[in-house]
A and B are shown apart, each in its own frame.
Chain A
Amino acid sequence: MHVVVCTKVTPDTAAKVSVNDAGVVGWSEAPVINPWDEYAVTEAVLLKGDHGGQATVMTVGKQEHEEALKQGLAIGCDQAIRVWDDALEGHDNLQYSKAAAAAIEKLGDVDLVIFGKEFADTQTDQYVYQVARKLGWTSLGAVAKILEIDFNASTIKVERLLEQGKAVVSAKLPAVIAVLKDINEPKYPSFMGIRKAAKAEIPVWNLGELGIDVGEPKTKVAQYKNLPVRGSQVQLFDGTPEEAAAKLADKLIEEKVI
């Protein structure tokens, strides 16, 4: 079996992110592996532990994203691959997905691709479905649990968390899935793992090697803005529970939010 997990770095969730006067987004601390991907990488390593075979961690991105690959290696993935090409500068989701799908095809023997739910920075949640479609594989988003997986029979059964409830879905492998937080307890790297990962040579594949042309971007960001400052200061209600509750209830009814 061969599982591929796709990841990248994003600002730390606790980082203060803001847009400067030049319209550029910046943040306070060093970027970390995308929080949703902690579950995706862990799931790949758990599957490898249970079923044997190979786990590959992959990114489409500049050098800075190698930090996420190293985290994947340190947790237990066997190899890391970075896809990058100057033609991907200013890329949109479609271009990314085409590159990611081509790299998965180049690997050749992949049974399952795991994504995190989304990137905490771009929050587009498109890659999973675009990559699946490009490969011609089934996509399963919002996976809360892998109930069964059989790499010999090429079958998978998952629980998906949809807006109105939970669906149990079975599918044929190869497939592309996106996993939610609930799926596992994320693994963190050991010292040994970190040392091994630091020494790893990470190959970079360009579009020529992948033999594809990703075309022109079809969406682009025109502008970043900071959030509008939220109203004024909090209005506090005090007194006994009955008094405070009465004043607050009246206020909320007056505001027509109830």
Chain B
Amino acid sequence: MIFVWTEHFDDKLAQASREALGKATKLGAGEVVALVFGENVDDIVKQSFHYGADKVIKADDATLANFRAEPYVALLVKAAQEHNPNYILAASTARGREVMGGASMDLDAGLISDVNELEIEGGNLKAVRPVYSGKVLATETASGDLQMATLRSRAFTPNEPDESRSGEVIELAPVLSEADITSKVESFEEAKGSVSLTDAAIIVSGGRGVGGPDGFDPVRELAEVLGAALGASRATVDAGWIPYEHQVGQTGKVVSPDLYIAAGISGAIQHQAGMRTAKVIVAINKDPEAPIFGLATYGIVGDLFQYVPALTKAFKERLGK
């Protein structure tokens, strides 16, 4: 039996959790059981079946309305103790890391974090994951009766949703009451109007070459036309031109989009640490010697203020926007 702890947001099963469910169905580890925790999660339960779960363990309670480590870890641990799965998977998101890390201690189970490739060999998880800021790949193995792994966003493909699928739903009562939980989510401010960097299939990023906060405008327009997330180099974040949540790189987000367009970014090794695994990399930079051209698939040597708007126009025409 294999557990997949799922995340959801705005009544949707998170993309990264769909990917984790998809991978679980392909591992040949027996029954795939999705764990769905939250409040009013019947829709998420349905979606979990559509994306590959054979069974769902559901905990539906007001104490679970917002993600908090304590009640969620306690539930995952209880579910594992009651059902004895061989493996537990989750997405390697901020929440996934927290729940899986916490539960691994309670369950005394080996956890392999943030994997790009995963298989079962001789009953044990075997995974490939980037280490040393993505400069090296490590193959890691787990052992023991229960083994856990978190899956990097966009490294695995979800199943095509099959709306005819459903199955048994097992209800799990919350372990902690509100009075037992020492943390409280006071508010949540949704990142508005933008695509999440880690889920994005396309990212358009700006660097110091944009010259100032307004210089991001053409970069942002290209991102909008492509339905892409907006990224940035640390130099622009440190200069206060754009908030930190857009930073890609060693001390920012690590992303693996299909397409990464870097405009006015030199391609310092710390920036590369965050985007090296993109399938196709496009560099637009006026300096032909910029290190980004050593990594890029395609490039334009020129002024981003001329070439980026021209690209936006070219895509508008081709995509009929």
Contacts and interface: CB of A to CB of B under 8 A. Distances in A.
Contacts of A168: 185-188
Contacts of B252: 181
A163 to B, nearest CB: 5
Interface stretch (A13-21, A47-55, A81-89, A199-207): A13-21
A129 B202 CA distance: 31
A237 B202 contact: no
Given A252-B259, A253-B318, A142 B139 contact: no
Contacts of B97: 125-126, 129, 141
A225 B139 contact: yes
A14 to B, nearest CB: 6
Contacts of B173: none
Given A94-B108, A130-B101, A234-B298, A220 B185 contact: no
A122 B69 contact: no
Interface residue SS majority, chain B: mixed
Contact of B111 (A161, A219, A242): A219
Interface in A159-193: 160-172, 180-182
A138 B311 contact: no
B106, B111, B184, most chain A CB atoms within 10 A: B111
Given A25-B132, A235-B297, A167 B141 contact: no
A70 B187 CA distance: 39
Interface residue SS majority, chain A: mixed
Contacts of B113: 123-126
A6 interface: no
Given A164-B9, A172-B183, A219-B110, A234 B280 contact: no
10 contacts: A16-B135, A125-B101, A126-B104, A133-B106, A165-B189, A169-B183, A171-B182, A221-B138, A252-B298, A258-B226
Interface of B: 9-10, 14, 16, 66-70, 73, 93-95, 97-106, 108-114, 126, 129-144, 147, 182-191, 196, 198-199, 201-202, 226, 244-245, 247, 250-252, 258-259, 268-270, 273, 276, 279-280, 282-283, 293-302, 306-307, 309-311, 313-315, 318-319
Given A128-B98, A224-B139, A244-B310, 10 more contacts: A124-B111, A124-B114, A126-B100, A129-B97, A140-B69, A224-B136, A235-B298, A237-B300, A245-B300, A258-B202
Interface of A: 11, 13-14, 16-19, 25, 27, 35-36, 92-94, 97, 120-130, 132-134, 138-142, 144, 157, 160-172, 180-182, 215, 217-227, 230-231, 234-238, 241-242, 244-246, 248-253, 255, 257-258
Q: Across chains A and B, which 3 residue pairs bring their CB atoms closest together, nearest first?
A: A218-B110, A129-B101, A241-B310
